[in-house]
Structure 1
Amino acid sequence: MSALVKKVIGLIIAAFLLATPLAAQETTNTDPQVDPATMTPEAIDAMVARMSDDEVRAFLLERLDAVAMQSQAPEEVVTLSDKVANLWGAFTTPLLQTLQKLPDTLRFVGVAISNQIDKASNSGGLLLWIGLIALVLAVGFAVEYAVRAFLMRRVRQKANPNGEESLRDAVQFLFRRFVREILGLIVFYVVIRALGRSLLSPEMLLFAAPLVGYLIWMPRLAAAASRFLLAPHRPDLRLVSIDDHWARFLHRNIVGVVFLGGLTIYSVTFLATNGVPPGSTRLGYMLDSALYIYIILIALTARDGLRAMMLGSDPDTTRFDRRVADAYPIFAIVVAASTWALVTTLIGLGTIKPLLQGAHYTTMFLLLAAPVVDTAIRGLVRHLVPPMAGEGPAAEAAYLSTKRSYVRIGRVIAVGIIFSLIARAWDMSVAELLMGGAGIADNLFSFLMTVVVGYVAYEAVSLWINSRLAAEMTALGMSQEDADAEMGGASGSRLSTVLPLMLLTARATIIVVFGLLAIGNLGIDITPLLAGAGVLGLAIGFGAQKLVTDVVSGVFFLIDDAFRVGDYVEIDGTMGAVEKISIRSMQLRHHRGPVHTIPYGEIPKLTNYSRDWVIMKLKFTVPFDTNPNQIKKIFKKIGQEMMEDPLFKDDFLQPFKSQGVFDIDDVGMVIRGKFMAKPGKQFMIRKEIYNKVKAAFAEAGIDFARREVRVAIPGLEHHEDMSEEEKAAITAAAAGAAADAAQQQDQAPSSAPKGPD
């Protein structure tokens, strides 16, 4: 055989090894069609020996073309409707099988019981089994009771059954009782396990262990947890807001739900260990479906109690909290129905391993407990959040915002823990998702984690700034006394002015940064977004130069501490208290009510009347014959009295005192007094000083000077001899002279300053 033929034979054998079975090829000879894939090496050699070189070459090319066409065959496309049809088929299969196998269920249950009785008969008899198991359980209960009684004697409970307990006392009492019950259950388990290994045979243990675990130990554990939360017989210690009737109802039925779930698992185990083939009955599925129906009935019956429990007793509830409370019974029904549908579908798909591990029960329990956890978070925040610092509406708003930030952070953490536990129940590793390699799932998980981290950062910044605001801000609005005055307003601190802007800036920064990171984690290229943002920022910079001027001017005003929220300022003739500041403008509330909005870039000069201290100077006009030293003593006495008055002593920086004779006019002497006070407090002090000076002058016999007009008429030495007509003429002349003097006074230009002296 030539070398060419040997190479061709090698290629044919390689093609046979790579190709799948195809139809036999017809050769130029009269040999019948055969399948080359089923031929032996000797038969292949014989066939090649009978073929010419051209025939071998043609046969090889034909086989290679067939292999290429098979590799290029289009794969079967599964459409969305096909997937839906498959899921529907998987969902309906267990239902149909349950109906088909329902007549045989009781028969197979009887077979399992009969097999169990036969096992008992072969190893000592049924009565011996029952007696030994009952003895082990009795010993376990007795030891548990003794241990719990010993613990109760050692640790005395100090709860007042007739009075309300504090949260700390209630939690301590319930926690000690819960720990005592758990220790009792552990002792019970250890005792029956040790005693069972020594008294019971392996067949007895195989029967008793699931029975005790699912139908005794699990319901008792649920009862202990329910007593800790609901305290059905101790309303004074109850941690949730619910009345006695619904507390006891929920306690009984929570234990019933756990017992029915344990019965479901135990029935499947019992049938499997007693010779019933898997899938022969649907008893476990029927009991599992009854469990979901039971939960739905509980939610419908106790919906009023569940709403009250979810709403809690916190007076600062939001609309979201009330909606969650109203929707919780419906939520419980949806969770139960969805879990049943999921279990049914998984059984139809043949994926029952997670169900045997109880993953569906864990998921349902965690989802049903999620709103309860939310209520617990709000209750803890209510008792653990620091008390409100400061006073007034601003401090109260900051306090409420702080509480809500704590609640939202707690909710995010709780949701993360719940979903991690659900993923673990279904054997889904969070670490694998964090490491990547899951395609769309990996991108989606990274997106959610970025959003969660950004949200926590957002709430943490809000919490910190709001807590500082609660400590810094007091009642910033002008009081009624200040509003009645010409100027006023006690300013807030510098932090209370800057922190709101810091909060706005920090929130915007966090939203932008984490928003871009989250979009990038979805696999979207954010470079065009950054480039577009740069171009947009440049366009805004050129097109909104006035806006940039306002923003930059505002930054420098804040750096210079030129004004604060609450300061009474004057800007180019416009006066008012600083009510609100933003990035580009400020709002001034005039003491008569109008609000002026002034951009920072339009402020040529700013006069602040509320910074550090204020001096108030008061003028009093007294007759010429008044002793100034007497008035000085009166002013000094008034200043000392007001410095000792608890209503005013903290508002003074310097006491009220006399400055002596300030001026002399045609009416009398002008005596001036002054005092130094905190900004915004001077007006109440001024009113009180006026009242005290008036009372003191009246007591000392000092009159305030009044404007008088004196008319000198020669020959009035004998005015007693004047007639009534002469007196009336003189009076009319004096009145006319007084009117002329008053008119001249009104028309004269005033030299008094318009602003504060």
Structure 2
Amino acid sequence: MMGFPMPPRKIPAALLFLLAIVFAGPAFSQTQALSAAATASSPAPPQTAPHLKALLDTLSNDQTRAEFLSKLRALVDSGAVAEEPPKREDWLSGATESLGAFSGAVLGIVAEIETLPAQVAELFENLTDPFILERIGWAMTTVLAVLAAAILAEYVCKWLLARPRRALEARPARAFFAKFLLLLVRTVLDIIPIGVFAAVAFGVLAMVDLSFIVRLAVVTVINANVLARLVIAGARAVLTPDAPQMRLFRQHNENAAYSYLWVRRFSHAAIYGYFILRAAWVLGLSRAAYVFFVDLLGLLLAGMCIVLILQIRVGVARKLRRFGAKDGRTVRLRETIADFWHVLAIAYIGVAYLVWVLHVGRGFDFLARATLLSLITIATATLVGIALGRLFDRVFQLRPDLRERYPMLEARANRYLPLLRSALKSLLAIVVVMALLEIWGAEPFVWLASASGQGLVGRLISIGVVLLAGMVLWELSSAFAERMRLANPNSTRLKTLLPFLQNAFRVVLLTLGGLILLSEVGVNIAPLLAGAGVLGLAIGFGAQTLVKDVITGVFILMEDTLSVGDVVEVGSHAGLVEKITIRTVHMRDFDGNVHSIPFGEVQTVKNMSKEYAYAVVDVTVAYRENIDDALAVMAEVAADMAAKGPLADTIVEPFEVVGVEGLQESSVWLRGRFKTRPLGQWNVKREFYRRIKAAFEAKGIEIPFPHRTIYMGTDKKGDSAPLRVVNQRPEDVTLPQKRRADAARSARTPGPHIEEHPGARERTEEDDAPLLPSIEER
């Protein structure tokens, strides 16, 4: 809602102001008359025509002119004429003059206060005159008629626009452009009654006959009211406290109402105060008093700004802490600004007020212009940064089908996107800083146009080219390495050599790039190169073992003796190769221990995972078994493993039956082998042993355990002693019995010798029977 054209609580103040102007008019007029009289009564300057004529005659004659010049020269040489000291034009002299002017304003106010009782007495004396009272009544009636006509015309206009306004505010809108159009039309409807008020007021004022004082007072009130209401209408269009559905920017309703309230306060205080003081000055208020009251008005506005800052300091600090990234280098700076921003703002307001009050040159004009341009620059840079961020998100985002088809493509394509974002943000920040410096008078662009500035820009461009070239070379090397990996995914040599070569290329690239950057900065790199050569020679002589390790490692890697992922045996250590550096190989054994072996100590390398491997299996059978049947069972088990076992993909060729490898003490040794993929021989061997045991048991083929045949021995007649077996458990035999049995057994010559074997079973009833028949049974 527009509200009353002039708030009801302000009508008495406006009328009081009009009365004061009308009553004080004669006093102001009298003051002006006194000032004019004082000016007229001041003594006139003396007549200088005879003096000028004499000087002209002197300068026209050569002789008299020469005498005059000689006298002047002698006077100057004698030192009688004192030289005027040069006038200072620095800020200190300006501040001193401003303090003098402020002191003069205070003295002027004191003088005005001293004459105030006389003016008040004269005012009350004039009120006793019926003619003056009649003039005052007629003036007040005319003023009230002008304001009443303007207010009535505005009310009629508002009544006619009330229905379209309500329909406009009730219309829903979600799109930004639609909200903008509705808000623009509503703002026009708000401004039309203000225009009608001003038109009717000035029109009626032009038709009535008023004195200059009364007319000036009415015009002041009308202008102040119109201007203040236009400012408030603009604030209502931006903040829309009474129509949240039409608000263009996201903002809480309470914050919008709070901001609108403070806009009203500032506009009323600043606009009404300025117009009243201006009218008073035109009517005869002294310059000193006018300046003093304007400074008081500025102090009031500065105090209102400080109160506003103190009220919103917590909310603004919370907004500042939420602004930007949650982690990074700027977090601490942002936290500090959030804690002390109100102190900086209050200090800025204090400095601006002092600059304005003391009239330091054109300091306040410069400060106001620089502040406004700085805010515009920062706001524009913020909008540009947000637009660039959204543009990056839209341009560098892959389609959902491509993201689903190639999950890693977006990460690879946007690898340098954060770096590009940071570079653009840094460039934008540099431009903003330079613009701010230019606004505040530092003139950085003038410096950049100079020889030193152009030299710095050239160096920065050279550094950027070097960095870009290094980045391009590194990306090309990475793309080449990635292509080699994709072309040979199972090549362990590439897995070993590519990281080594990439590290070497990175070192070379960083070294060359660093030297070039140092030379661009201005550092002489010739001593660095010479020192690096001498240092390298010294290191070569002092670290022969290191050089030996490096050279041996280079040849081992070039010859592809071992690679990352191989299982090797180096000297007395064996394990899986996890990492290879330029001088050491790191292996992890089966127990998880890591062995680091320098290449200089490597004499022999046993690689058990090169291209393919053999799983050699050894099986033993009893002498009584058929060898061909046992070999056939082995071949059958191996064929089943290669056909449908879990390790079928590991076996690359059919099982090879080697045959009988040897005749052992109690078994026949059979051998065969599988050809497997690298690192698969041990799993194949374990699986074959598991299956062959089950197959031999199913076929009744005995896998012998270590045993010996007992020979009883015979005497000269060919008879052997009887063997008696006592059915007694070992734990039931006491120690003396064991000793007697051992002594009797050792006394027999020859006697049987029995050794226990690990394959003993539980004793049964059959075990209690005699192991061998006695002599008599035979």
Q: Tell me which interval the TM-score lies in, with the shorter structure as reference length.
A: 0.5 to 0.7
Give 1:517-532 correspondences, 5 Å limit: 517=517, 525-526=522-523, 528=524, 530-532=525-527
Which residue number corresponds to residue 662 of structure 2?
664
Aligned sequence identity (%): 14
Instruction: Pick one of 449, 468, 477 that aligns with 1:437.
Output: 449
Post-superposition Cα deviations, 1:564-617, rounded to whole Å, max 9, x if no partner, equal 433333445554433334455443344445544445566566554344433322
Which residue number corresponds to residue 609 of structure 1?
608
Inter-CA distance 368–198: structure 2 relative to 1 (3 Å threshold): closer
Q: Is the 8 A contact 1:267 1:283 kept in 2?
A: no
Post-superposition Cα deviations, 1:210-239, rounded to whole Å, max 9, x if no partner, equal 43443442578998999999xxxxxxxxxx
Q: Is the 8 A contact 2:620 2:704 kept in 1?
A: yes
Report the 3-state secondary structure (helix = DSSP H, G, I; strand = E; otherwise coil) of the residue aligned with 1:436: helix
Between the aligned partners of 2:348 and 2:703, the Cα distance in structure 1 is 94
Instruction: Pick one of 182, 191, 202 that aligns with 2:185.
Output: 191
Q: Is the 8 A contact 1:219 1:255 kept in 2?
A: yes
Which residue number corresponds to residue 211 of structure 1?
232
Which residue number corresponds to residue 640 of structure 2?
640
Report the 3-state secondary structure (helix = DSSP H, G, I; strand = E; otherwise coil) of the residue aligned with 2:171: helix
- Once the two structures are TM-superposed, the CA of residue 620 in structure 1 deviates from its matched residue by 1.6
Q: Is the 8 A contact 2:58 2:64 kept in 1?
A: no
Instruction: Pick one of 531, 539, 551 that aligns with 2:534.
Output: 539
Which has the higher Rg, Structure 1 or Structure 2? 2
- Between 618-627 and 600-609, the greater mean CA deviation after superposition: 600-609
Between the aligned partners of 2:446 and 2:696, the Cα distance in structure 1 is 85
Q: Is the 8 A contact 1:658 1:672 kept in 2?
A: no
Give 1:320-335 correspondences, 5 Å limit: 329-335=335-341
- Once the two structures are TM-superposed, the CA of residue 365 in structure 1 deviates from its matched residue by 11
Instruction: Pick one of 50, 58, 61 that aligns with 2:66.
Output: 50
Inter-CA distance 592–269: structure 2 relative to 1 (3 Å threshold): same
Between the aligned partners of 1:573 and 1:406, the Cα distance in structure 2 is 50
- Once the two structures are TM-superposed, the CA of residue 621 in structure 1 deviates from its matched residue by 1.7
Between the aligned partners of 1:441 and 1:327, the Cα distance in structure 2 is 29
| One-letter amino acid of the structure 1 residue matched with residue 367 of structure 2 | I
- Structure 2: gaps spanning 5 or more residues: 1-54, 78-82, 110-142, 200-225, 279-293, 356-362, 726-740, 758-778
Give 1:319-398 correspondences, 5 Å limit: 329-342=335-348, 344-345=350-351, 348=355, 349-350=363-364, 351-354=366-369, 357=372, 359-360=374-375, 363=378
- Once the two structures are TM-superposed, the CA of residue 407 in structure 1 deviates from its matched residue by 5.5
Post-superposition Cα deviations, 1:162-192, rounded to whole Å, max 9, x if no partner, equal xxxxxxxxxxxxxxxxxx3522332124424
- Say if 2:293 is the partner of 1:296: no
| One-letter amino acid of the structure 1 residue matched with residue 522 of structure 2 | D
Which residue number corresponds to residue 686 of structure 1?
685
Post-superposition Cα deviations, 1:251-309, rounded to whole Å, max 9, x if no partner, equal 56765786588679867985698576786514554454445434431267799xx67x9
Q: Is the 8 A contact 2:481 2:498 kept in 1?
A: no
Q: Is the 8 A contact 1:618 1:672 kept in 2?
A: yes
Report the 3-state secondary structure (helix = DSSP H, G, I; strand = E; otherwise coil) of the residue aligned with 2:537: helix
Between the aligned partners of 1:731 and 1:291, the Cα distance in structure 2 is 121
Report the 3-state secondary structure (helix = DSSP H, G, I; strand = E; otherwise coil) of the residue aligned with 1:201: helix
Give 1:65-144 correspondences, 5 Å limit: 125-126=150-151, 128-129=153-154, 139=164, 142-143=167-168
Post-superposition Cα deviations, 1:534-568, rounded to whole Å, max 9, x if no partner, equal 11221123112246665566566555555443333
Report the 3-state secondary structure (helix = DSSP H, G, I; strand = E; otherwise coil) of the residue aligned with 1:357: helix
Q: Is the 8 A contact 2:241 2:257 kept in 1?
A: no
Post-superposition Cα deviations, 1:29-64, rounded to whole Å, max 9, x if no partner, equal xxxxxxxxxx999949948962799x89x99x99xx
Between the aligned partners of 1:141 and 1:41, the Cα distance in structure 2 is 89
Inter-CA distance 456–692: structure 2 relative to 1 (3 Å threshold): farther
Which residue number corresponds to residue 494 of structure 1?
494
- Structure 1: gaps spanning 5 or more residues: 1-38, 63-68, 104-117, 149-179, 230-249, 313-319, 474-489, 739-757
- Once the two structures are TM-superposed, the CA of residue 454 in structure 1 deviates from its matched residue by 8.5
| One-letter amino acid of the structure 2 residue matched with residue 298 of structure 1 | G
Q: Is the 8 A contact 2:500 2:582 kept in 1?
A: no
Inter-CA distance 597–130: structure 2 relative to 1 (3 Å threshold): farther
- Once the two structures are TM-superposed, the CA of residue 683 in structure 1 deviates from its matched residue by 3.2
Q: Is the 8 A contact 2:616 2:685 kept in 1?
A: no
Report the 3-state secondary structure (helix = DSSP H, G, I; strand = E; otherwise coil) of the residue aligned with 1:620: strand
Which residue number corresponds to residue 29 of structure 2?
none
Inter-CA distance 337–697: structure 2 relative to 1 (3 Å threshold): farther
- Once the two structures are TM-superposed, the CA of residue 663 in structure 1 deviates from its matched residue by 0.6
- Once the two structures are TM-superposed, the CA of residue 708 in structure 1 deviates from its matched residue by 3.8
Q: Is the 8 A contact 2:615 2:674 kept in 1?
A: yes
- Say if 2:195 is the partner of 1:201: yes
Q: Is the 8 A contact 1:551 1:584 kept in 2?
A: yes
Between the aligned partners of 1:583 and 1:258, the Cα distance in structure 2 is 68
Inter-CA distance 576–220: structure 2 relative to 1 (3 Å threshold): farther
Between the aligned partners of 2:169 and 2:745, the Cα distance in structure 1 is 119
Report the 3-state secondary structure (helix = DSSP H, G, I; strand = E; otherwise coil) of the residue aligned with 1:618: strand
Report the 3-state secondary structure (helix = DSSP H, G, I; strand = E; otherwise coil) of the residue aligned with 2:586: strand
| One-letter amino acid of the structure 2 residue matched with residue 333 of structure 1 | D
- Once the two structures are TM-superposed, the CA of residue 533 in structure 1 deviates from its matched residue by 1.7
Inter-CA distance 637–210: structure 2 relative to 1 (3 Å threshold): farther
Between the aligned partners of 2:385 and 2:641, the Cα distance in structure 1 is 63
| One-letter amino acid of the structure 2 residue matched with residue 640 of structure 1 | D
Between the aligned partners of 1:222 and 1:466, the Cα distance in structure 2 is 58
Q: Is the 8 A contact 1:550 1:600 kept in 2?
A: yes
Which residue number corresponds to residue 619 of structure 2?
620
Inter-CA distance 574–185: structure 2 relative to 1 (3 Å threshold): same
Between the aligned partners of 1:623 and 1:553, the Cα distance in structure 2 is 51
Between the aligned partners of 2:371 and 2:711, the Cα distance in structure 1 is 122
| One-letter amino acid of the structure 2 residue matched with residue 297 of structure 1 | V
Inter-CA distance 567–267: structure 2 relative to 1 (3 Å threshold): farther
- Once the two structures are TM-superposed, the CA of residue 623 in structure 1 deviates from its matched residue by 2.3
Between the aligned partners of 1:552 and 1:77, the Cα distance in structure 2 is 76
Inter-CA distance 227–136: structure 2 relative to 1 (3 Å threshold): closer
Inter-CA distance 44–274: structure 2 relative to 1 (3 Å threshold): same
Between the aligned partners of 1:632 and 1:44, the Cα distance in structure 2 is 149
Q: Is the 8 A contact 1:632 1:657 kept in 2?
A: no
- Once the two structures are TM-superposed, the CA of residue 659 in structure 1 deviates from its matched residue by 1.8
Inter-CA distance 197–605: structure 2 relative to 1 (3 Å threshold): farther
Between the aligned partners of 1:721 and 1:537, the Cα distance in structure 2 is 95
Q: Is the 8 A contact 1:575 1:588 kept in 2?
A: yes
| One-letter amino acid of the structure 1 residue matched with residue 180 of structure 2 | I
Inter-CA distance 135–282: structure 2 relative to 1 (3 Å threshold): farther
Q: Normalization by structure 1: what TM-score?
A: 0.54
Inter-CA distance 448–225: structure 2 relative to 1 (3 Å threshold): farther
Q: Is the 8 A contact 2:660 2:671 kept in 1?
A: yes
Inter-CA distance 581–281: structure 2 relative to 1 (3 Å threshold): same
Inter-CA distance 201–223: structure 2 relative to 1 (3 Å threshold): closer
